[in-house]
Amino acid sequence: MGVSRLDVFYRRLLLTKLFIGGWGKPEDLKRIFEFRKIIGDREKCRSLVPKDYPVYINKTEDHADCKIHDGFFISPLEHLVPGILPPEAVKARFQFIVPKRWQKDRPVCIHLAGTGDHYFWRRRTLMARPMVKEAGMASLLLENPYYGYRKPKDQLRSSLKNVSDLFVMGGALILESTVLLRWLEREGYWPLGMTGISMGGYMASLAVTNWPKPIPLIPCLSWSTASSVFTTGVLSKAVNWRELEKQYAINSVYEEEIIKLLEYCGADSFKMGPEFAKNVDSSEHLLVLSGDDRATVGLNSKAGGEAEAGRGLFIGGGLKGGSARVDQLLSSVNSSGMSLDTLPRSLLVNNTLLGKKMDFAKCYRPSLHRESISFMKGVMDECTHMANFSVPVDTSLIIVVQAKEDAYIPRTGVLSLQEIWPGCEVRYLNGGHISAYLFKQNVFRQAIYDTFDRFCLKYPNLH
C-alpha cells in the first residue's frame, strides 16, 4: 500500500521544525524514564491518584441542546515529578459538554487532543456537538500540556521544543485522564470511554492501559508506537536532526547513560536491529587536510605515519601550543574548505573543542545520523510503545480506526496493535491521514457509539 500524496503535500506546507531545543535535559529524561517504569505497570499506579482528587468547575454556558462547563485541576504529575512540567502547564483545563436530554444512561467520552489541536473549539465542533445530537452522549475535552492555555511562552505554535516534552505530555495525560475518569464516576456518569485522533489516539491509548477496569477505547489514526512517526513517517522531515545530532555527538550522557535506561526490548526494538555504530577510533580518522595545511598544524606524515602524527598533536588530552595552536588549527580547517563536521572525536575534551566550547561542530562520525535516528526510536518506544505498558483490561472494547495510506503513522517495521492487544478490532479507511481527519469524523463517531454499545451489552451491571 502506498502513502497518500495529500499527506506528503500537506507536510511540505508546514515550515516549522520540531524539537528545535534538542533532546531535553538529560536529568529530565532520566526522571521521565524512571517514572515510566511506574505508570507502565497498572498495579503500581492504583494509589498514585486519590479517588477524591479535587476537580473544579468555574464556568457554565447554557446552549439549546447542551450545557458547556469549563473546569480545571492541578496535574498530578506536578506532585509526583515536581518541576518536570512547564509552569504554564501545571493547571489542567477541560471543557465538559453535557446534553440536556440523555437518550440512555449518562455516557461520557473523554477526547484527547491531536497535534495542533489548541483549546477546545475543534473537538467541540467536529466531535462533541454532533455526538450530543446523534447519540445524546456527553464529551469531556481535556487540553493537552504544551497546547492552548498550557503552552509555554517560548514554544512556537504546536512545535514541541524538546523530544522530552512529548514524554512529559504523555505522563501528564495518563494521570490527568485518571483524575477525570474518577471524577466522572463520583458524579454518577456511565459508561465512560476514551478517544482521540492522531496524537490524541496515542495518548488515549496510553491512558487506558493505566485504568483498572474495562473501558471503551477508540484510537483514531494512531498506532502502536510514536517512534515510526518521527523516524520514518513524513513528520520525520520536520524534525531538527541537525540539533539532535549535534547534542548526541557532544554530550556523551545520551549514549553512555540514557541508553542504558531504555527497557523496551520487543521484536521491533532498536536493540533487535544492528548495534549502535561504535565511536570510530580517532587515530584512524585524522583531519583530511592538504599537504601544506598538514605542515602548518604539525600533521606531518613523515613523523611516523598519519596516526602517529595525529597523536603528536596531543599532550595529556590537550593540544600542543595552547590557544594559539587552536586558532591555527581552526584557521587551517577553514582555509582548506573542510567542514567542521569532520573534526575527530579525540579533539573533544570535557565537552570542549581543544579548550573552546564545541557549540559549532560535531565530531567525525559518519554514522551520526543513523545513530541519532536509532536513539530517537529507542527513547520514543520507551515512552510511547503500547507493548511497554499494561494491556487494557478488556481488549474487545477497543476499536481502532486507521487510514490505509497514512504517511504520518507508518505501520511497517513495528508491532501491530492486534499483536499487542489480541482481541481488539481495527477498521481501515481508504486514503491518508489528512483526508481521514478532514472528512471521516462521522466514521470516528460511529466507532465510538459501537464501542460503547459493546460495553453496555457486555457489562450492563458494572456501574
- In tens, the pLDDT along 183-213 reads 999 999 999 999 999 999 999 999 999 999 9
CA distance 287 to 298: 11
> How much is the pLDDT for 12?
76
Q: Does the pLDDT of residue 364 top 80, yes or no?
A: no
What's the pLDDT band for 147 if we cut at 50, 70, 90?
Answer: confident
What's the pLDDT band for 429 if we cut at 50, 70, 90?
Answer: very high
CA distance 192 to 213: 11
Q: What are the φ/ψ torsions at residue 368 (nearest 5 degrees)?
A: -60, -45
Burial (CB count within 10 angstroms: exposed 0-12, middle 13-18, buried 19+), residue 259: middle
Range with the lowest mean pLDDT among 28-37, 99-108, 128-137, 265-274? Answer: 265-274
Q: Does the pLDDT of residue 287 top 60, yes or no?
A: no
**Which of 156-165, 226-235, 324-333 has the highest average model confidence (pLDDT)?**
226-235
461 or 407: which leads in pLDDT: 407
pLDDT per position as a tens digit, 342-354? 444 444 444 444 4
CA dihedral for 382, 387, 393, 395, sign (positive or negative) = positive
> How much is the pLDDT for 282?
29
139 or 121: which leads in pLDDT: 139
> How much is the pLDDT for 273?
55
Q: Does the pLDDT of residue 328 top 80, yes or no?
A: no
What is the mean pLDDT of the segment spanning 100-113?
93
Q: Does the pLDDT of residue 338 top 90, yes or no?
A: no
Residue 155 corresponds to which cell in the numbers above? 514554544
433 or 284: which leads in pLDDT: 433
Q: Does the pLDDT of residue 5 top 80, yes or no?
A: yes
What is the mean pLDDT of the segment spanning 142-171?
89
DSSP states of 3-28: --HHHHHHHHH--PPB-TTBS--HHH
What whole-number percentage of the chain has pLDDT above 70?
79
> How much is the pLDDT for 161?
87
Q: Is 432 helix (H, G, I), strand (E, B) or coil?
A: coil
> How much is the pLDDT for 18?
87
> How much is the pLDDT for 272?
67
pLDDT per position as a tens digit, 381-401? 999 999 999 999 999 999 999
Q: Does the pLDDT of residue 10 top 90, yes or no?
A: no
> How much is the pLDDT for 401?
97
CA distance 433 to 116: 14
Vertex 196: Cα angle to 192 and 198 (nearest 5): 165
What's the pLDDT band for 436 if we cut at 50, 70, 90?
Answer: very high
What is the mean pLDDT of the segment spanning 78-87?
96
Q: Does the pLDDT of residue 88 top 60, yes or no?
A: yes
Q: Does the pLDDT of residue 310 top 70, yes or no?
A: no
Kindly give the interhelix angle for 163-186 and 26-39, rounded to the nearest 10 degrees. 30
Which strand (E) or helix (H) includes residue 77? helix 76-80
Q: Does the pLDDT of residue 79 top 80, yes or no?
A: yes
Mean pLDDT score of the chain: 81
Residue 341 corresponds to which cell in the numbers above? 563536521
Q: Does the pLDDT of residue 303 top 60, yes or no?
A: no
The distance from CA 47 to its chain's CA centroid, rounded to whole angstroms, is 26
